[in-house]
Amino acid sequence: MAGLLFASPWILGFGVFLLYPLIASLLYSFTNFSILRPPSWIGLSNYQEMAHDEVFYTTLKNTLLYVVGAVPLGTVVAIGLAMLLNSKVRGMAFYRTIFFLPTLVPMVVLGTLFLWIFNGDYGLLNAAFHKVGITAPNWLGDPAWAKWTLVLISVWGCGQAMVIYLAGLQNVPVSLYEAADLDGAKTWAKTRHVTLPMLSPVILFNVIMGIIGSLQIFAVPYVMFPDGAPARSTYFFSSYLFDNAFKNQRMGYASALGWVMFLITLGLTILAMRISERHVHYEGG
Amino acid sequence: MAKALPGRPNKVAKTALTHLVLVLLSVAFVTPLLWMLSTAVKPITETMTSPPRWIPSHVLWSNFPDAVKFNSKELGYIPFLVYARNSLIVTVLSVGGALISNSLVAYSFARLKWPGKDLFFGATLATMMIPFPVLMVPTFALFKWLGWVGTFRPLWVPMFFGSAFSIFLLRQFFRTIPMELSEAAKIDGCSELRIFIDVILPLSKPALAVVALFTFMGAWNDFLGPLIYLVDQTSFTLSLGLQAYQTQHGGTPWNLLMAASCLTIAPVVVVFFLAQRFFIQGIATSGLKG
């Protein structure tokens, strides 16, 4: 009895704030509805419309490209930083704080700050490129670059993943490295055959959370590129969904978009788990 | 080239190289923040020089009060202090709610027995895969029906009902506390609530600090929630209100915007440094290792 009582806030929260909205949005996705108009059943129309909606494909492509860029890059940098910090250097706490600091910056501030730094005319970055005689790309104005600028910015926030990797690295038993030393293993061999396998469950966790988070990218492009400019290259799935729900008053269509996003998230998560099955090493089975 | 001597010199070189790489990376990570600080104390004329100026001709501390009491013809009056108060209200209520609800629920998952517990815990973890946008429309409709749109309630009330990640984190931590402690307290006639409050919570400060910090950051920095639910400019939180300093047609007062941004980040940085010791320890011991 006590158990259920203690868990009751979450049992309610689970039902009201997760299960109900999830099912309701599936039902809404078969309707036409706005704040002013109650839902009316229109069957599969929203999904049929989506199949011919060019903006839907554009935002989906943009979002997937962003995930493909941001997740691997963020993972490699976060693991790299964690390994450097784990190598028993002095001042580890200091460096750790420096790398973690950017994750404290609100998305809105982050967006404005990088709008300022990547600015084509007065930006700090292009001034630096200019000084060494390189013609820098037009980061924010060129459709070919704007999306990748956002990927670069995302790396700046990899501190949270880094802290989790660092905790994982510190849990790797020293005895494994000693055994590898006895076998004459070099640094790379130890990384490849001891560190990475022992870290693999943490990597899987972070990669999955990274995919789920990146698929929802919203605030930074919303602040930096209010219209998804240039040429809709920074118009992402969440922004399109938000615009449909709250600007165009098409909440049924927005719900259908939401379910597509949910299914994609689910699919990619399962894919990541499948791929990892052969590579992830769980201690003690 | 002669083979490197075994042992010391090789190791010294390696340590030096590690430091070099770390210093370079630190510079890359900290430069944007320093640039924000530098811009925040510049006169507006020096924000747009080519090449950029790092050190202002004179440090203009007055940018901070100017940003707080901002009033211009193009952008109008920006009530920074009202935004700050709104953010504070939402954040304090969110952190309070998160600490109470998540610790109770995690205690139940970690140390109590009830039918269906393991299945429900699995379902709880699975909900971390649900993207927020899919829930957005029905949740909005729900709060609209309750008449809560335009108030702070949609932003903090859900925090009193738990969240999967915090529950998971606290459960992992509670499980590391020996069961014997609970059993001894039970023999002394303590109720579950007493054990929870007097035995478990005092031992769990690091994990509670992590949950408090994450919730604090989440609530203080949240953009999408306030964007959906707050209507009146006077009810905006800081993260939503900061946009008011930007114009679409150039002429953004970058120095004041950066000053306001610094003031927005400051509380988070202070809380982080206060909680840091707990924070690292909490992450390391709550078994965020998969």
What DSSP string runs through chain A?
Answer: -HHHHHHHHHHHHIIIIIIHHHHHHHHHTTEE--SSS--EE-TTHHHHHHHT-HHHHHHHHHHHHHHHHHHHHHHHHHHHHHHHHHS--TTHHHHHHHHHGGGGS-HHHHHHHHHHHS-TTT-HHHHHHHHTT-----TTT-HHHHHHHHHHHHHTTTHHHHHHHHHHHTTS-HHHHHHHHHTT--HHHHIIIIIHHHHHHHHHHHHHHHHHHHHT--HHHHHH-TT--STTTT--HHHHHHIIIIIS--HHHHHHHHHHHHHHHHHHHHHHHHHHTTT---TT-
Q: Indicate whether A56 pLDDT > 90.
A: yes
Looking at chain B, how many residues does it have? 290
Q: What is the pLDDT of residues B205-215, one digit of tens each?
A: 889 998 999 89
| pLDDT at site A77 | 96
Which of A4, A5, A18 best tests the B interface by mutation, with the highest count of B CBs <10 A? A18
**How far from A85 is each of A210, B206, B286, CA to CA, in Å?**
21, 22, 20
pLDDT value of position A283: 67
| Percent of chain A topping pLDDT 70 | 99
Q: Does domain B80-246+261-285 have CATH number 3.40.50.200?
A: no
* ipTM score: 0.91
Specify the pairing of strand B76-77 against strand A31-32.
Answer: unpaired
Q: Is B112 within 8 Å of A12 when comparing Cβ atoms? A: no
- Name the residue among B284, B272, B257, B267 with its Cα closest to residue B40: B257
Task: Determine, for residues A258 and B51 on separate chains, whether the beta-carbon distance falls below 8 Å.
Answer: no
Would A235 be classed as within a structural domain? Answer: yes
The letter for the amino acid at A7 is A
Q: Which domain holds residue A136?
A: 35-276
Binary contact (B141, A255; C-beta < 8 A): no
**Residue carrying structure tokens 């800081």:** B238
Q: Do A251 and B141 touch (CB under 8 A)?
A: yes
Question: Would A169 be classed as within a structural domain?
Answer: yes
Q: For residues A107-115, give the mean pLDDT.
A: 89
CATH of the domain at A66: 1.10.3720.10
Which of A24-28, A151-155, B11-15, B119-123 has the weakest average pLDDT? B11-15
Are A22 and B32 a contacting pair at CB < 8 A?
A: no
Q: In angstroms, rounded to a whole number, what is the distance separating the alpha carbons of residues B253 and B45?
A: 10
Look at residue A120 and tell me whether its pLDDT is greater than 80: no
Nearest CA in chain B to A105: B265
Q: For the packed helices A92-100 and B8-40, what is the interaxial angle rounded to 10 degrees?
A: 40
Tell whether A216 is covered by a domain.
yes
* A16 in a structural domain: no
Summarize the confidence of residues A183-209 as an average pLDDT: 90
pLDDT band at A284 (very low <50, low <70, confident <90, very high): low
Q: Which of A30, A98, A152, A154 to mutate against chain B (most B CBs within 10 Å)?
A: A98
- Per-position b or e across A272-284, b if 16+ CB within 10 A of its CB: eeeeeeeebeeee
Q: What pLDDT does B252 receive? A: 82
Q: Which segments in chain B show pLDDT lower than 50? A: 1-5, 289-290
Write the residue in A98, A201, A237 that is nearest to B290 by C-beta.
A201
Per residue in B41-57, pLDDT (tens digit) is 999 888 888 778 888 88
| Closest Cβ–Cβ partner in B113, B132, B138 for A24 | B138
- Distance, in angstroms, between B114 CA and closest chain A CA? 6
Is the pLDDT at A285 greater than 60? The verdict is: no
- The percentage of chain A sitting over the pLDDT mark of 90, rounded to a whole number, equals 57
Using a CB-CB cut-off of 8 Å, the residues of chain B touching A96 are 280
Among B220, B232, B223, which Cα is nearest to B267's?
B220
CB contact (8 A) between residue A104 and residue B114: no
> How many structural domains are present in chain A?
1
| The pLDDT of residue B47 | 84
Q: Average pLDDT for residues A123-151, to the nearest whole number?
A: 88
Q: What pLDDT is attached to residue A184?
A: 86
pLDDT tens per residue, range B171-199: 999 999 999 999 999 999 999 999 999 99
CA dihedral angle for residue A255, residue A256, residue A259, residue A263, rounded to 10 degrees:
-160
What share of chain B has pLDDT > 70, as a percent?
A: 92
A99 and B26: CB-CB below 8 Å?
A: yes
State the pLDDT at residue B8.
Answer: 63
Query: Which residues in A lie closer than 8 A to residue B29 (C-beta atoms)?
Result: 98-99, 101-102, 156
Supply the pLDDT for residue A255. 97
Question: Using an 8 Å Cβ cutoff, are B214 and A160 in contact?
Answer: no
Between residues B53 and A55, the one the model is more confident about: A55
What pLDDT score does B2 carry? Answer: 46
B265/A106 CB distance under 8 A: yes
**Which residue did the predictor score with more confidence, B144 or A91?**
B144
Domains of chain B, residue spans: 80-246+261-285
Confidence of residue A6 (pLDDT cuts 50, 70, 90): very high
Query: What's the pLDDT tens digit per position in A126-137?
Result: 888 888 888 888
Q: What is the pLDDT of residue B4?
A: 47
3-class secondary structure per residue, B113-172: CCCCHHHHHHHHHHHHHCCHHHHHHHHHHHHHHCCCCCCCHHHHHHHHHCCHHHHHHHHH
Q: Residue A164 and residue A199: Cα distance in Å, rounded?
A: 10
